Structure 1
């Protein structure tokens, strides 16, 4: 059996769930799984701006 799992992240980058795909080892090679099943990585999210200090 071959299996690939990836995290699902919210807007802040926190992992909130996961997706798993499994297949019989005779059906796909490791390379085929990586190329055909694993989605491309999305671009990284821009960093959140630092909170503004409270001014009085």
Structure 2
């Protein structure tokens, strides 16, 4: 259920969804391991934050 809620919370915010896709794409194409790790850490942080929002909001 938590995975579903996280996906739903992200889909409700088109700006966040676009930003997450951008982070993921940039990490996948980066030639620097440190940059990829930084981008993926930000991606993970934002997904965790989206999943922590109260589903009633």
The two structures have a TM-score, normalised by structure 1, of: 0.31
Q: Greater Rg, structure 1 or structure 2?
A: 1
More strand as a share of residues: 1
User: RCO higher in 1 or 2 (8 Å CA, sep ≥ 6)?
Assistant: 2
More helix as a share of residues: 2
The two structures have a TM-score, normalised by structure 2, of: 0.31
